[in-house]
Structure 1
Amino acid sequence: MAKPSKKGPDTTVEIFCSQCRTRLFKYRKGGKGALVKCFKERIVKDYTLLPCQCPNCEQVFARDTLIRGTPAFKMIGGKAFQK
């Protein structure tokens, strides 16, 4: 399978914690679908202190993994949402 493009999409979304509504990422997301994964190279601004953990309530919202050979965060269902 092909790797995601380096430039990525132009539209950015904000990603928030579902439990405490704290901002987690500013992310260049492609498409209209649900938030399933976040490629690390597309994260514009990272507001977290520890990877995959909310800085406010310390809830783990994702898992660090490789997707198509590219480092990414695999989102846990219902732990984070986008606006």
Structure 2
Amino acid sequence: MAKPRKKQPLRTVQINCSKCRAPLYKYRKGGKGALVKCFVERIVENHTSEVGICPGCGQEFARETMIRGTPAYKIVGGKVMVK
């Protein structure tokens, strides 16, 4: 399997919790599709203290995994908003 591109995407998006609207990540997203996974190396700002747990309401929004040999967070559907 191919690894993600070395060159980071230019577009940054703000990822918030859909329940309490707390900021979670500022992320360099490539493409125009839905947010399914977040590669750890593309996270610009991290506002969480625990991996995949919202700091505001405590709900789980992501799981830690390896995708194409690179550490990533797999996003649970409907738990985050992308702006």
Matches within 5 A, 1:15-54: 15-54=15-54
Count of aligned residue pairs for this structure pair: 83
**Secondary structure of the equivalent of 1:24?**
strand
Partner of 2:56: 56
- Give the superposed CA RMSD: 0.7
Shift of residue 7, structure 1, vs aligned partner: 2.9
Are the aligned partners of 1:48 and 1:55 in contact in 2 as well (CA < 8 Å)? yes
Following superposition, which runs of at least 4 residues in structure 1 exceed 6 angstroms of deviation?
none
Identical pairs, percent = 64
Partner of 1:14: 14
Partner of 1:75: 75
Letter in 2 for 1:74: K
TM-score by structure 2 length?
Answer: 0.97
Are the aligned partners of 1:6 and 1:41 in contact in 2 as well (CA < 8 Å)? no
TM-score by structure 1 length?
Answer: 0.97
